[in-house]
Structure 1
C-alpha cells in the first residue's frame, strides 16, 4: 500500500532528481523517498538510466525513419499493426524432407494397414523406447552480478537411462522396462517377444480378442530391423502376430 507521501506516477522532474543523485553517487534512495517515489520504482529508474522513455508507437516511428527512411504517424501504426503483432523466437531446424509429398506417399500404406487392423478388431499395441539423459547440464542458474554462472561437471558420465514401453488402447500400459545403456537388437527382439506373451495372458485379450491378431506397431529405427525374423525363429511362422513398422 502506498504511504501518504508516495504517488503512483512520478513527474519528470522528480525522476531526474533521483537519477542525478544516483549518477553523483549520493543517497539517491533518500532523494526518491522525499520525492514520493517508491523504492522499487527508484531501482528500476536507476537501472534503466532513462527517466522518460517515449511511448512504443513513437519509438517504432523513429525506428522506421532511421532504418527505412519512411515517416509513419503513430495513428497509422496504431491502426495497421494491432492484428499483426509478432514475437521473436528461437528458430527451429526443420529437415527439407519433412512432411513433403514423397514421404506422405510412403507413409500411406502404413496408415492404411493400421486402419485395417483396427477395423478388423485386432489387438494393436504400440512399442517405443526413450532415452533419458541423467547427466544433462543446467542452462540457467544464479550468480552474483559481474560473475559467470558456472556448473562443475565430472570428467566422465555414466550410461543413460533407457525406457522401453508398450501401450494399447485396451489395457493402457502392457509392458515396460528400465535399463542402462543402449538397446541391442537381441534385447529389442526379446522385449517384443515378452510383450507378445504378456498380451496373450491378459484377461481382456482372452475375453474379447480370442483368435484375433496381435499387431505391434514399431518406428523405423535400425534396432527393429531383425525383430521380425528373430520372432519368427523363436515363436514360429504361424503365430498370430504382425509387426507394423513405420516406413523410413
Structure 2
C-alpha cells in the first residue's frame, strides 16, 4: 500500500483564520482544529500575532563583519596598489570603518572570492599606457591600415644583436684565470615584406650609428624599387618603411635621403 504523502505545515492563510478568530473573540481553538493546526501551533500564532515564518539560515546582520561596503573597500585597496599586504589592508579597514576589526584570514578569503590571486609583480613604466601614447598607437594603426588599403609596398625593418664570432676555441692564460678575448658586438639589420619576404640585410660590428641607419633605409628603398615585384604590381604606389623607436632610429626622418614616393612610418611607443 503506498505511503500517503507527508502533509506540509499550515499555510499562512490557515494561520490568519485562527488569528482573526482570536481577535474577534471567537472560538479560535475550533477554527484551528478545522484548519488542521495543532494546538501548539495555534497557541504560538495567537501569542505572537505572526503568521509568516521567520527567515531561516543566512547571515545575521548583527554578526556580519564584512559588509558590502567593506568588500568594495578591499577591492579599491587592491586596485590602487596590488602590493598591499593583508596586514596593511586590515589596518585600512580599521581606519576607514570605525569599530570594525577583520582578521587577515577573513580578508584573504574575501579576496579569493573576488578571484584575486597572488602573482609575480610586473613593473609597468608610468608612461607605458598613458593617454598620449595610446593615441599615438591608434594613429599608427590607422595610418598602416590606410597604406594597406591603398595597396602600397610595406617594408618592416629592425636590428638585433647577433653575437656569433669566428674565433679559435682554445687560448692561453694564467692558471686560475679565464682565457677571454674582447670583440665588438655583431649586429644584424634585416628588412622584410609580405611580397618579397627577405628584402635585404647586413651585418655591422659595433653599435649602429644614426647615419648608418639612414644609409640602410636608403638601401631598403633602392632594393624595393629595383625588384621585379615592384615593377609588375606596385608601379605608381608608395614605399612605406615601418620602423620602431630604437636609439639608432632617432632623427631618421631628418637624415635619410628624401623621395617623393617613400614614407617612414614610426611605430607608436
TM-score (norm 1): 0.52
Q: Is 2:187 the partner of 1:162? A: yes
Name which of 102, 108, 112 aligns with 2:138.
Answer: 108
Write out per-residue CA displacement over residues 171-209 of structure 1, whole angstroms, 9 at most, x where no aligned residue. 111011112110011111111101100001111111000
TM-score (norm 2): 0.48
> Which position in structure 2 is the counterpart of 1:214?
239
- 2:256 and 2:126 map into 1 onto residues whose CA distance is 36
- 1:176 and 1:220 map into 2 onto residues whose CA distance is 19
Q: Which runs of 5+ in 1 are unaligned?
A: 1-67, 71-80, 136-150
- 1:187 and 1:113 map into 2 onto residues whose CA distance is 27
1:128 alignment partner, SS class: strand
- 1:69 and 1:108 map into 2 onto residues whose CA distance is 43
Q: Which runs of 5+ in 2 are unaligned?
A: 1-102, 106-111, 166-175
User: Which runs of at least 4 in structure 1 moved beyond 6 Å after TM superposition?
Assistant: none
Name which of 159, 166, 169 aligns with 1:129.
Answer: 159
1:161, distance to aligned residue in structure 2 (A): 1.4
Superposition map of 1:21-170 within 5 A = 91-133=121-163, 153=178, 157-170=182-195
- 2:178 and 2:225 map into 1 onto residues whose CA distance is 47
1:107, distance to aligned residue in structure 2 (A): 1.6
Superposition map of 1:3-22 within 5 A = none
> Which position in structure 1 is the counterpart of 2:220?
195
- 1:177 and 1:103 map into 2 onto residues whose CA distance is 32
> Which position in structure 2 is the counterpart of 1:181?
206
Q: 1:130·1:164 contact (CA, 8 Å) conserved in 2?
A: yes
Residues 156 and 238 of structure 1: is their aligned pair in 2 closer, same or farther, counting only changes over 3 Å? closer
Q: 1:134·1:160 contact (CA, 8 Å) conserved in 2?
A: no
1:154, distance to aligned residue in structure 2 (A): 5.0
> Which position in structure 2 is the counterpart of 1:227?
252
